[in-house]
Amino acid sequence: QVQLVESGGGLVQAGGSLRLSCAASGRTFISNTMGWFRQAPGKEREFVAAISWSVGRTYYADSVKGRFTISRDNAKNTVYLHMNSLKPEDTAVYYCAARGSHWPGYQPSEYDYWGQGTQVTVSS
């Protein structure tokens, strides 16, 4: 099992920045790819970004490309999501997820482990 704990959410004005963290514990060696998803009220959970633990290759949704950056600290078993130029439409609960494959997953069903989520609210 892999346990994931997110932190760093909060309230920010449009144009501001936040950094989310996802600390992984347990059998972390079975999780080769980490992803961030988000879910706004009344909407489906959607892919935001993903990164491979080994080579650090990154993948982004078009809606966040150029504004968000995913990174990892292997020594701390922690993945980060740096969010800049935030918009009100970025408001959602952000979830960290892990999967065994080295390839990125773009659907929630492709991930095996999930964190509890952290709320991000962007005011206009």
Give the span between the Cα atoms of 83 and 123, in whole angstroms.
15
Pairing of strands 78-83, 92-99: unpaired
Q: Look at residue 37 in the predicted model and tell me its pLDDT.
A: 98
pLDDT one-digit tens code per residue, 5-48: 999 999 999 999 999 999 999 887 777 899 999 999 999 999 99
Give the span between the Cα atoms of 16 and 14, in whole angstroms.
5
Examine the pLDDT at 81 and tell me if it is beyond 90. yes
On whether the CB atoms of residues 24 and 2 are closer than 8 A, the answer is yes
Q: Look at residue 42 in the predicted model and tell me its pLDDT.
A: 95
Q: Look at residue 27 in the predicted model and tell me its pLDDT.
A: 81
The structure tokens listed for 18 are: 């936040």
pLDDT one-digit tens code per residue, 51-71: 998 888 999 999 999 999 999
